[in-house]
Amino acid sequence: MICKEKRGLETSLLSIFPQYSFLLSLLVVFVHSTHFSVEELQSVARLPFFESSFLEKWEFFFSEFLGQVAVPGFFFVSGYLFFRNLQSLSQWREKLGKRFFSYVLPYLFWNTGMTILYLLFQKADFSIHGIFEGIFLYRYQPVFWYFFQLILLTYACPFFALGLSLFRKCFSPKLGNLLFLAFFSPLLSWLGVFFVWIYLISMRMRLFYYSFGAYLALLGFGISEEGKSLSYENTKKKSAFSPFLLLLSALLCYGYTILGKTIGLLLLAMVFYRISTAVFLLLLCQRGFFAFGKKYADHNFYLYAVHYLFLRLWFMLQKHFFPEAGEALLFCFYSLSPIYCLLLSQATAYLLQKYANPLWRILNGGRAS
C-alpha cells in the first residue's frame, strides 16, 4: 500500500517508526527462514553467479544484504527513542525505569519460559550452568542476542546522560549538544571493549548504529523545539533522489565488502552499507511505503520474540509432509514464512489478550496492553 506523496512527506520520524519496525521484523523472519546454514550462504558470494541455485541466490540476497539491515535499523530506532527529548538526569532515570519493563522483564520472562520448554522436552541439560545461560544469556532464545546487547547499551552507558547534562549546564543546550557529540564521537567507536569481550567487534558496530540514532535525537532531527513534528519539503527533487542516493551508496559499499581486501576498509564499508540501507528503508516508510505495518506495530515485539519458535514448527511440518521437496516448493515455503509467522502471532496474541491479559502484558513488554 502506498499513501499519497504529500501525506508521506509530512510524516514525522516518530510516527513512521511503527511501520518501519514492522518491516524490520519481517526482514528478521526472512533471515531465520533460510534453508541453508550460514557457511553455505557465505559460500554463495564466493561462487560464480551461475554455479549457485536460484533458491541459494534468493535466500542469500535476503540474509546477507537486506536481512542485515534489521540490526542497524533496530539499534538506530532504539537509540533515537531513548535520547529523544532527554533533557535531564531525572528524565534519564525515568526512561531507564520504563525500559526495565519493556526490555529487561520480558527478556528474562521469555528466556525463562524457553528454558523450561527445552527442559521439558529434554533438549537441555538440567544444570545450574545451563539454566543460568538459558535465563540470562538467551541460550534457548537465540534471537534475543539483540535485546541482550541493547540492555547493555541502555544500562551500561550512564556517561551518555551524565556527559550530556554536564555539557548542557556549562553551555547553551544547542551548543552543549554539538560539543557533547564532538567530544564523545572519537571515543564511542571504541567503547565496545568495556562490554562483553566476546562481542568486541560486533558491539562496536552496534554501538555506532545506536549512537547514530542518539545523535539525530539530540540534534532534534525530525522534531521541532516545541516537540511538534517537522514537515518535510514537498519537492519532487527531494522525494526522488534522497533515498536512492543512499541506496547507491549502500550498493557501492556492499560491492567493496565482496571485492575489497583491506580489513579496515572492509569493516568500514560494511557499517556504511548497512546503515545506508537502513536509512533508505526509513525514508521509503516516510514517503508512505509499508504504511500497512501500523496495523501490526503493537505486536512487533511479540512477533520478534515468538517467530523463532514458530519457524521451528514450520520446518518440522515441511520435513514431515514434504520430505523430498524440490527447490520450487522450498522457495514457496520461504516466501510464505513471514505471512505464516504473522498470522500465527496475531492469532495467539488475540487469545492471550482476551484470556490471559496479565501474561500478554509481560510477553509483549507492556506494549498494546
DSSP 34-72: -SS-HHHHHHHHHS-GGGS-HHHHHHHIIIIIIGGGHHH
- The pLDDT of residue 15: 79
**Per-residue pLDDT tens digits for 216-231:** 777 766 544 344 443 4
pLDDT band at 50 (very low <50, low <70, confident <90, very high): low
Q: Which long-range contacts (CB under 8 A, 24 or more apart) does 59-65 make?
A: 59/34, 59/35, 59/334, 62/27, 62/30, 62/31, 62/34, 63/30, 63/31, 63/34, 65/254, 65/277
pTM value surpassing 0.85: no
Distance CA 71, CA 282 (A): 13
Distances (CA, A) of 346 to 244, 296, 310, 327, 358: 34, 8, 12, 29, 17
Distance CA 128, CA 139 (A): 13
Residue 104 has pLDDT above 50, yes or no: yes
Residue reference for cell 531507564: 96
| Mean pLDDT of the region 324-328 | 84
- The pLDDT of residue 240: 44
- The pLDDT of residue 345: 94
Distance CA 75, CA 153 (A): 10
Q: What is the dihedral of CA 302, 303, 306, 311, to 10 degrees?
A: 180
| Mean pLDDT of the region 224-251 | 53
Residue 298 has pLDDT above 60, yes or no: yes
Residue 197 has pLDDT above 60, yes or no: no
Residue 89 has pLDDT above 80, yes or no: no
pLDDT band at 84 (very low <50, low <70, confident <90, very high): confident
Q: What percent of the chain has pLDDT over 70?
A: 72
The residue with greater pLDDT, 176 or 339, is 339
DSSP code of residue 101:
I
Residue 311 has pLDDT above 50, yes or no: yes
Q: What is the dihedral of CA 333, 334, 337, 340, to 10 degrees?
A: -20
pLDDT band at 114 (very low <50, low <70, confident <90, very high): very high
Q: What percent of the chain has pLDDT over 90?
A: 23
| Mean pLDDT of the region 277-303 | 84
For the chain, what is the mean pLDDT?
77
- The pLDDT of residue 48: 55
Residue 211 has pLDDT above 80, yes or no: no
Any idea which of 117-121, 207-211, 336-340, 341-345 has the lowest mean pLDDT?
207-211
- For residue 105, with 0-12 CB atoms within 10 Å meaning exposed, 13-18 middle and 19 or more buried, which class applies? middle
CB-side exposure of 61: number of CA atoms within 13 Å? 10
Q: Is 210 in a helix, a strand, or coil?
A: helix
Which of 153-157, 260-264, 275-279 is modeled with the greatest confidence?
Answer: 275-279
DSSP code of residue 367:
T
Distance CA 70, CA 20 (A): 10
